[in-house]
Amino acid sequence: MDTTELCFLPAVTLRDLYRARALSPVEVVDAVLDRIDRLNPVLNAYLTVTADRAREEARASEARWRRGDPRGPLDGLPYSVKDLEETAGVRTTFGSKWFEHYVPERDGVVAERLKEAGGILLGKTNTPHFGHKDSCDNLLGPPCRNPWRLDRTPGGSSGGAGAAVAAGLGPLAHGSDGAGSIRIPAALCGVVGMKPSFGRVPSHPNPDYWAARSHHGPLARTVRDAALLLAVLAGPDPRDPLSIDAPPEDYVAACDGPVEGLRVAWSRDLGSAAVDPEVAEIAERAALRFQELGCHVDSPPIRWPESRAFHQVLWEVGVASRHVDRARERPEWIEPSLMRMLLNAGAMSALEHGRALLARTGFYVAVREFFERYDLLLTPQMPLAAWSVVPGDEPREIGGRPAPTMYDRLAFTYPFNLTGQPAVSVPCGMTQEGLPVGLQIVGRWHADSLVLRAAAAFEALQPWAHLRPPVG
């Protein structure tokens, strides 16, 4: 097997080959690191590469597999960590000039669990300044690029993770999602990205536990790889007061269950979103294929309360409360997109913020009642394919309708951060330009296994892992 093929093998396949002693973690890590050396200068998917550490960990893993004593479910499997997660002894920038040379002394809980499971850290993936937007550029260097078209963004804020997985720069990637930041790059890069139920994966350290909107989760090329990573990340932690107090399920096994008879809703626009017609048609064809899986697919009207305005209040006040003091200290280290959020938040009143919190509760109630009638909701994941990589050159319309802000591109993502429901993005087709389109599968609160089962069933019906971007 040549080195390129090694770089695109699913993680579950790599694990089986290690167990059979037909492949070594050293071979795999060497192949992936060589590919990173060659392609990362073009893609900028990684901000930091931990090559020496990875090779040392690969040798230790190889010895454990020879003894028949693997350390955990990820033993010998290469992974990346988004650079918003602290990693002991490894530079953690948060995409920020303030932390350009910061090296933490401790791991975050995600990094802890990946290390304990025997995985091999390849490095830290690119992200915008504290993950504040849906593109992947910052003031630390060149923007991250989409491996399908280098003049396009991979999305954000887990853009480096999405680009790395799509380009064969590691089979497993950690991401985080506060308004779509796992699912956006998954859709735009043609990979799987799951935002689990809120609290399924604990968050620590966390400057704002009580915001209750940011989710850690997996990006991978296949559903079962994503399930494997989620099984390692999931489970309660006493340091996170909102983590779900229940052990993780066997999410890989959950992928094998039936989906016949499920009540599935399809929505082209969630009632009001602007959508590119080509993207909507690709996603709709994919959604209707769930009928072939034995599901009952319906297209009910969506009449949920308007959420864009109050979501913007919650997002921008949350961002500003964490970063406004730094902006006053060094305004030249604040990008225009972030500065706009800080200025907008400064003009909002406490009363507006309080009303936004109340509106979130009303929105959750409406969505919960909708899911009393349906097991799953399917939507386009993003309303358009990947746009320009140039900062400030974002689209100003979608499907012929004005779309002046980032929030117009997030109409299918942030609603389920507000409600905390599990949602996965799976590839479902390509545009005429050769850019990926994602289908979103949303489940009831805490129905993570069902969402993965539906995603795996669709993957079996319409596989995508054989598709590779032209880069490299």
What are the two backbone dihedrals, phi and then psi, of residue 356, each rounded to the nearest 5 degrees? -65, -40
Please say whether the beta carbons of 439 and 380 come within 8 A. yes
- Catalytic residue (choose from 80, 181, 197, 214): 181
Contacts of 60 (CB under 8 A, 6+ apart): none
Provide the token pair at 398: 């979608």
CA nearest neighbour of 219 among 180, 259, 266: 180
Whether 181 sits among the annotated catalytic residues: the reply is yes
Q: Specify the residue for token string 């389920």.
A: 416
Separation CA 162–CA 156 (nearest Å): 9
Q: Specify the residue for token string 């396009």.
A: 152
- Catalytic residue (choose from 24, 157, 158, 267): 157
- Catalytic residue (choose from 61, 82, 307, 449): 82
- DSSP string for residues in 246-312: SPPP-HHHHTTS--TT-EEEE-SSTTT----HHHHHHHHHHHHGGGTTT-EEE-PPP-PPP-HHHHH
Q: Specify the residue for token string 């350009």.
A: 100
Provide the token pair at 312: 């913007």
Separation CA 72–CA 304 (nearest Å): 43
- Strand order of the sheet with strand 172-177? 46-49, 120-125, 78-82, 172-177, 215-220, 192-195, 423-430, 436-443, 376-380, 263-266, 296-298
What are the two backbone dihedrals, phi and then psi, of residue 20, each rounded to the nearest 5 degrees? -80, 0
Whether 82 sits among the annotated catalytic residues: the reply is yes
Q: Specify the residue for token string 């890590």.
A: 29
Whether 157 sits among the annotated catalytic residues: the reply is yes
Please say whether the beta carbons of 96 and 130 come within 8 A. yes
The DSSP H or E segment spanning 193 is strand 192-195
Three-state secondary structure call for residue 90: strand
Provide the token pair at 442: 């949303």
Please identify every residue annotated as catalytic: 82, 157, 181
